[in-house]
Amino acid sequence: MSEELDRFAALERAETRLDAHARQRSQWRARRARWRAIRAWVLALLVVPAAAAAGFVGVLETAGGDLGAWSPASATALVMGAFLGPAALSAWFARSLGRYEAFALALCALSIEVALVFGVAFLALGYGPR
């Protein structure tokens, strides 16, 4: 009888220990998911659009503020790559958040980049139509 009680007590301790480990693992997973979401939002909405807008404005700056000297195909490729590439990269960063949220973040990143390019390059630096 005493041996049975010892076995039951050992089983209880083991189950308690397993429950504690399971709780700790679920807390770690939740913390990791939270940081992954924060990282995706920061990268997709701040870092990628700002870097892409700075790169595009830098190319405009080296071109003298006008892409008229470029061939139409290369100017189109630059504009499409400068705006759609970072949007796709933002969606890739947010892929762990779900398909719809990744698509929404890509659209937001595209909008932010357009606002930055037009706000900085065309208004502050005086590029664009005169």
Is residue 25 in some structural domain? no
Is residue 47 in some structural domain? yes
Is residue 50 in some structural domain? yes
Is residue 23 in some structural domain? no
What pLDDT is stored for residue 130 in this prediction?
A: 65
| 117 contacts: CB under 8 Å, gap ≥ 6 | 53, 56, 57
Is residue 62 in some structural domain? yes
d(CA 80, CA 87): 10
Is residue 34 in some structural domain? no
Is residue 13 in some structural domain? no
What pLDDT is stored for residue 126 in this prediction?
A: 73
What pLDDT is stored for residue 80 in this prediction?
A: 94
Is residue 68 in some structural domain? yes
* pLDDT per residue as tens, the chain (130 positions): 677 777 888 888 888 888 888 899 988 998 988 888 888 888 888 999 999 999 998 898 888 877 888 899 999 999 999 999 999 999 998 888 889 999 999 999 999 999 998 887 777 777 666 6
Judged on CB neighbours under 10 Å (0-12, 13-18, 19+), 121 is buried
Sign of CA dihedral 121, 127, 128, 130: positive
41 close to 105: Cβ distance less than 8 angstroms: yes
Domain span at residue 101 reads 39-124
What pLDDT is stored for residue 128 in this prediction?
A: 65
Please tell me the total count of domains within the chain.
1
Record the tokens describing residue 7, joined without a space: 């076995």
